Structure 1
């Protein structure tokens, strides 16, 4: 993310930039799963790490004024509409 951040900031200077991230639904299933074996615990921990890192990236971009959407693929349309309504309500457009 830090390699791309200068480019994203340059775009965001002149445009309202919204970056969309997709949640990996298979990883979420792993994180919600009840674990019993050592391998399952390992897999769950790695899945939680990936999900956490994605949320950190979203928060970091928000700090720089870049709008983000973190959504499951099947909820893309409704979350995009909600983000648009939020942007309009905040007077950013």
Structure 2
């Protein structure tokens, strides 16, 4: 999967959470570089206005990852929600 596909996969999980009350169930092993990679995608989705963070989603700490240039000790997947723009992005990519 390329970066865009991974971000759309995360976005779709948040859409399913909103529409069908499905729990977000990502694990570190779902990403090649674990929580560092996941935090990178979450941050980009939030920056682009496709997700909205409600409280703390990414806790920084630990060793800095050389590829993603972040240090992440924990991710709270439940503290983010898809935005209207996120839903539009999914529609434009044929995922809903």
Larger radius of gyration: 1
TM > 0.5: no
TM norm structure 2: 0.28
Higher relative contact order (CA 8 A, sep 6+): 1
Q: TM-score, normalised by structure 1?
A: 0.29
